[in-house]
Amino acid sequence: MKRLKTLRMKYWTSLLFLLVSLTSFGQDGQRADLLRSDGKIYVVVGVILIIFLGIVVNMIRLERKLNRIEKNNGK
C-alpha cells in the first residue's frame, strides 16, 4: 500500500515537471516568430502534442496495471 502511494506521488511529480518544462518552450520570441513565419510552428506543436499524449497514455496504462496487480494481491 505504501509502495502504491510512492508510485502515485512519483507519477504526479513527473507530470508536474513535464508541464513546467513545456511552458519554458515559448520563452524565446524571435525563434517562435521565425517558426511561425515559415509555418513550421505547427510541426513543433504537433510533435510536442504527440510526445505529451504518448506519455499520458503510458502513465494511464501503468496505473491500470498497478491497480490490477493490487487487486490480485489483495485476494
Q: List the domain boundaries for the chain.
A: 2-74
Cell of 16: 508536474
Higher-pLDDT residue of 66, 10: 66
pTM above 0.75? no
Tell me: the pLDDT tens digits for 4-62? 777 777 788 888 777 777 666 655 567 667 777 778 878 888 899 999 999 999 999 99
Q: What does each C-alpha distance from 22 to 7, 12, 39, 70, 75 come to in angstroms?
A: 23, 15, 20, 33, 41
